[in-house]
């Protein structure tokens, strides 16, 4: 057995940077898992305080401030789109657990933030999910080393708000990718690449049946959403391996 004892998980740094002494997130929290891997990917680069209790300073907003925190992504994107000079270097990460949206429909399930960010001149834009940790770590490293502003959109399953057993956190995130409702791709300088593509996608009902919040979906709505998901994925697929950078005059008007 010792001959084959080298696995990919053993190659990760075993040092914990995010809250090595415990945190107050819920049991089976997807956001905590994502933040842990982001900090593990950044490692010593993001370390600012040598004698801090936590290795990297972090904060967690209360429920009353979640709107400010979660709503920060869109205004920030717009402010950068409007500004004439590009910021030299910035890493912006949206940990999306889909909790503050009022109603669940296809406009929130099919994400538009990455394409907005790419159109506003970000050097590196990617979507990620903590169910695929090595993909996530690679994208964080690329975003950190990008020659310009970078944006990451990370889908974090939330057992409390979505309504599933805490032990299924990783499974539900994997289902989101396998049903193609949240495809994992990256846009490096306007150049699209789908990093993880499921050749035989699951039907959408596998994703909706796993969660209590989507239990109100009837078969008609699921069929309509399935078509929306398929068309969104084929649109993404048509952009793959093509440079779709917008001209600078259009970018200034957005």
Binding site for other proteins (CB under 8 A): 1, 4-5, 7-10, 12, 14, 16, 18-30, 32-33, 36, 49, 51-54, 57, 133, 159, 165-171
DSSP three-state, residue 94: strand
Nearest to 39, CA basis, from 60, 22, 54, 29: 54
CB of 243 to other proteins, least distance (A): 35
Alpha carbons 99 and 225: distance in angstroms, whole number: 20
Residue 172 Cβ, how far from other proteins at the closest point, in Å? 11
CA angle 24/16/172 to nearest 5° reads 60
| Closest CB 132 distance from other proteins, rounded Å | 11
> Alpha-carbon distance 129 to 171, whole Å?
11
Closer Cβ to other proteins, 38 or 225, answer by number: 38
Query: Quick one: 53 or 250, whose CB is closer to other proteins?
Result: 53
**Paired residues of 194 in beta bridges:** 185
Q: Which of 18, 122 has the CB closer to other proteins?
A: 18
Query: How many Å from the N-terminal Cα to the C-terminal Cα in the chain?
Result: 58
**Residue number, 3 or 249, with CB nearest to other proteins:** 3
Minimum separation from the CB atom of position 22 to other proteins (A) = 5
């Amino acid at each position: 057995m010792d001959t084959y004892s080298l696995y990919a998980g053993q190659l990760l740094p075993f040092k914990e940077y995010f809250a090595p002494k415990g945190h107050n997130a819920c049991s089976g929290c997807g956001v905590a898992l994502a933040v842990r891997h982001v900090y593990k990917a950044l490692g010593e680069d993001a370390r600012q305080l040598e004698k801090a209790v936590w290795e990297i300073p972090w904060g967690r907003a209360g429920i009353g401030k979640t709107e400010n925190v979660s709503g920060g992504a869109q205004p920030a994107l717009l402010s950068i789109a409007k500004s004439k000079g590009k910021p030299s270097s910035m890493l912006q990460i949206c940990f999306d657990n889909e909790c503050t949206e009022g109603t669940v429909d296809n406009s929130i399930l099919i994400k538009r933030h990455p394409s907005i960010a790419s159109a506003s001149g970000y050097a590196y834009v990617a979507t990620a999910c903590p169910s695929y940790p090595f993909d996530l770590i690679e994208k964080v490293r690329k975003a950190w080393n990008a020659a310009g502003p970078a944006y990451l959109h990370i889908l974090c399953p939330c057992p409390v708000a979505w309504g599933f057993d805490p032990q299924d956190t990783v499974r539900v995130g994997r289902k989101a990718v396998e049903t193609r409702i949240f495809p994992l791709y990256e846009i490096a300088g306007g150049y699209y690449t789908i990093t993880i593509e499921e050749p035989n996608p699951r039907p959408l009902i596998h994703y909706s049946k796993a969660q209590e919040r989507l239990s109100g979906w009837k078969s008609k709505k699921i069929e309509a959403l399935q078509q929306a998901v398929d068309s969104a994925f084929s649109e993404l697929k048509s952009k793959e391996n093509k440079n779709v950078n917008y001209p600078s005059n259009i970018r200034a008007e957005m």
